[in-house]
Homo-oligomer: A and B are copies of this chain.
Amino acid sequence: MEKILTGVEGLDRMLKGGLIPGRPYIVSGPPGSGKTTLCMQFLLEGLKSDEEVLFVALEEPPNEIRYNTESYGWKVGEVEILDANSDVRRFEPKPILEISSEFKPVPMKNVPFTIRKTPEGESREVTVHSLQQALKNIFKWKNYRRVVVDSITALRQFCMRDFEEHSSTQSFIRFLTEAGKTSLMTVETPDNSGSELETFLARGEVRLHKFRHENGIKRFISIEKYKGSSHLEYIVPMEITERGIIVHAQET
Contact = CB atoms under 8 A, between A and B. Distances in A.
Contacts of A31: 199-200, 205, 224-225
A68 B204 CA distance: 13
A1 interface: yes
A32 interface: yes
Copies of this chain per assembly: 6
A182 interface: no
Nearest to A156: B166
A166 B157 contact: yes
B203 A60 contact: yes
Given A170-B158, A171-B86, A68 B199 contact: no
A17 to B, nearest CB: 13
A87 B174 contact: yes
B91 A177 contact: no
A67 B171 contact: no
A64 B171 contact: no
Contacts of A166: 157-158
A227 B68 contact: yes
A178 B216 contact: no
